[in-house]
A and B are shown apart, each in its own frame.
Chain A
Amino acid sequence: MVTVTIDGREIRVPERTTILDAAHEAGIEIPTLCYLKDVNEIGACRVCVVEVEGIDQLVASCNNCALDGMVVHTDTPKVRQARKVNTELLLSQHDSECTSCVRSGNCSLQSFANDLGLVGLPYEKHLPDIEWDQNFPLIRNNDKCINCLRCIQICDRVQDCHVWDLANRAAHTSVNVIGGLPIDSVACALCGQCITHCPTGALRERDDTDRVWEALEDPDITTIVQIAPSVRTAWGDHWGMSNKEATVERLVACLRPMGFDYIINTDFSADLTIMEEGTELLERLKEGPHDHPMFTSCCPGWVRYVKSHYPELVDDVSTSKSPQQMFGAIIKSYYAEKLGVDPHKIFSISIMPCVAKKSECALPTMNDACGDPDVDVVLTVREVDRMIRSEHIDPRRLEDEPFDEPLGEGTGAGIIFGATGGVMEAALRTASFLVTGSAPETDVFKDVRGLDGWKEATYNLAGTPLRVAVVSGLANAGRLCEAILAGSVSYDFVEVMACPGGCVGGGGQPIHDGQERQRLLGDVLYGLDRVAKYRNSYENPAITTVYAEYLGEPLSKRAEELLHTNQHAWIMPGEE
């Protein structure tokens, strides 16, 4: 332990505690901009500087340790001036048109500058004005970039994708695609972690809300919207609603008055995914030992990653489509028939915690139901929130409303798809039933839960050991792939989620700068699972019905056509 004095308060902290953390312990908040705990502790923005007695120059508090006997002042004229000038310097290269920025009101630079009480800038503004492909699902606007370098670090260290780099040097330093290459020519998984870790509006998803407004306004079009499991954990954040208030049924209540014709629950197609993928796994196990495990395929970020980084493993990725795309294919076939609507007149929308889903729905392979895209538009949770706000709907004043039937029913197994380990646990519950004919014990597979980046377990499936692993975060996925290829680990079934913690930590979720909320949000899903009417996918009555009325059985010819895909039918950069 060391003793330090910060702003006159003496405090004891463990050795190697940063000045920033020590100050926090003492109840003193030091502002930061570039800092991201454990990921970007680089002291670049220089707004977290403090005065340390005995040293003339200021010290970055975010990456320097509190040392025994150190006397620190966080609020002196020297510190205040440095913070102010450095902020003014950042603003001299920042497009401060906050009124037309998606991050207005949720921007660390904006709130910090406001807190400083700036009233005008002494420096002339110079914006880099760098071009960007506005059709790509991920949009970078360097006029708003403050070179905090977080996106580079997240992409390199957490996601192993190496999309971003310092594209220029010295006074021309800017963060951009590595080597100045076009974004669609590099192996971007579209996980969106750079967006959710950007302190400003320099990174965002492509805004597709206008296409949805157009469809809603068209009287000839039937709009059908599906809502992914994780959406319910965070959609109400903007209104400060608790998880108890911001239920998915309340979101349904928001969407109805906006004109969505049918609002359905992706939990249903998560259950459908389990039926298909679980059966696929059991078939594969019957074939005898494989060199590699079967990988889940529901995360499009992972699919993009594995195709570009480990093309030799693509054959081992399940052919099952993601729940979003299964639902899309069912909407424009079975559901259209049921509703008596021409599928070409259906506009299929999905609300996802994800950016990669925007590219997934646009793949040339995702049009199996009627030839049109099975899902027309994907909205992130942030986009939906913006739509609700633009309609001046106050969710706090609405009552919960149910999904539209018959495809509004989901199970607890479908709900936990949003948390790391959830797909695995859901699959194991159903696989166990399919093999043994009896329902699994409650929560018998819960070892695969939790935020460890790489979890493993072995289960006894009717006498056969099933070795499984669950990874989230693409750097973890990369390590696992390396280990599998090197032969140092061996599994039968592996779940991969691109985003750390799974979809609840998705790149399309509402942004809380500096907070990692995966645990909190994952717990919400497990809580909902615990009280769900049905907890296993095979119990879902809607699933029973769709197989009885339309699909026959898992892996039937029709199921293969609608619900499975050829992962080789499109190419990622680096794949060839």
Chain B
Amino acid sequence: MIGRGFVPLLVLVAAAGVGALAWETEGFNVVTMNGARQLDIARRPRSLPDVQLMDQDGQLFSLADYKGDPVFVDFIYTRCPAICRPMGDQFHRLLRWQNSHPERQVKLVSISFDLENDGREALRLYGDHYGARAPQWRIAAPLEQSGLDALRQAFGLIVIPDGTGGFIHNGDVYLIDARGRLARALDPDAAPLVFVNALTGIRP
């Protein structure tokens, strides 16, 4: 004989458990924190803090200056041996794509989170290495730690030490829409077409 109250208890336990799993995985769509953030940004574009940045030419600017144009942003540190490389390659491909689509503006900003080591000279060397020229591709760093913290918070950037003096960080490529909102976070090793589609897709 099935015990009395068995079915209600089983249903209750299963519903609570499956509900919690669904909530944690955004309806069984993601299992990682990165995936959850990408989904959240695509669903609800985020407004960004106004942070002063300095680029490789020593020019001061802020992401808000780009209003009216979408802009791709990634986070780097100039000594990075790992994930910054594919992100740089991705930016390169976007520039190449733009060469054949002169009607499109492709604007790129790489922001360093390593304020201690990435002064203007380091930014310039890194820019030269990747062939980045301002203002189309700016290699920049926040002027102040508080600015960096605000950006970290808004972009959901997580940086951990790699154990040998460098860093490991989540390497998303972000797309800021023409209204200055953070509209997409994309995997850096996604197909180049994904970036082009994102760029053309968010334009009103």
A complexed with B: no
